[in-house]
Structure 1
Amino acid sequence: MARKKKSRSIVQRFDDYFGTGTLEDWQRLCGDIGLDANLSSITQCRKVLKTVHINIHDLLDAVDQGRLPHRFGNARELANYTVNTRRIFPKKKVKEMGPVKALMRHIL
């Protein structure tokens, strides 16, 4: 039961952080990760987000603390960290074509 509650919590935290999905929301996400925040389309934002490896829990914690999240060098490093810390975003809650989809990596 605690695991389900925690899962909903991270999903709600990300939904609250991200907003409605406007270009400005995508640009803010890119900027909060340390990427170019002036991209001119959601498609460009989505493409650049696919190039970084960050943990979504860590992203939200970093935003709350006013700092950049740790960026892993590759998907394997991110996977190892995510499994070891159990800071996993529930795959069932990934919305098709949304920002979480652009950030998700194959972990297990």
Structure 2
Amino acid sequence: MSRKKNSQTNVEKQRRNEVVKRFDDYFGAGKLEDWQRLCIKIGLDADGCDLSSITKCRKALKSVYINIYDLVEAINKGEEVPRFASLDQLVRYTLGTRRIYPKAQAKKYGPVRALMRNVFRDE
């Protein structure tokens, strides 16, 4: 592997680790308050979703298509979280920008897991 390729891989790995850490620091591991904070940050409360339980939060998140890298950046900048109208739009964007949250880092039942989408699906 060339030195340039190695350097790019290290930068991507470092960026990925930073996104994982920031998401976990901000949204926690899975208490109801963590789920509600995520749903509110994405704007699901404004959409009229019932966020009174983890199950209801998880269900509400299934209808939202966001890139987790964009979510973390929006939080850091105090901006609105960009949402995609469809899974296809999210997949094209995510693959095109290579802003792919590492599946191995997703907590089994935590808030980040509810946002995960299969971007490597068969066309």
Normalising by structure 2, report the TM-score: 0.80
Unaligned runs of 5+ in 1: none
The separation in 2 between residues aligned to 1:75 and 1:45, in whole angstroms, is 19
Which entry has the higher C-alpha Rg, 1 or 2?
2
Contact 2:50 2:57 in 1 (8 A): no
Match of 1:30 among 16, 22, 39: 39
Deviates more, 1:26-35 or 1:58-67: 58-67
Q: 1:64 to 1:6 in 2, by over 3 A?
A: closer
**Contact 2:29–2:110 (8 Å) recurs in 1:** no
Residue identity in the other structure for 1:14: F
Aligned counterpart for 2:110 among listed residues 87, 98, 103: 98
Alignment: residue pair count: 108
The corresponding residue for 2:65 is 53
Please list the CA deviations of residues 51-82 of structure 1 after superposition, one character each: whole Å capped at 9, or x if unmatched.
10000011111122222211101111001001
Aligned residue for 2:27?
Answer: 18
Over the residues paired in the alignment, what is the CA RMSD in angstroms?
A: 1.5
Whether the aligned pair in 2 keeps the contact of 1:53 and 1:74 (CA below 8 Å) is yes
Bigger mean CA offset, 33-42 vs 77-86: 33-42
- Equivalent of 1:39, from 33, 47, 51? 51
Classify 1:92/1:20 alpha carbon distance in 2 versus 1 (closer, same or farther; 3 Å): closer
CA distance in 2, matches of 1:34, 1:67: 12
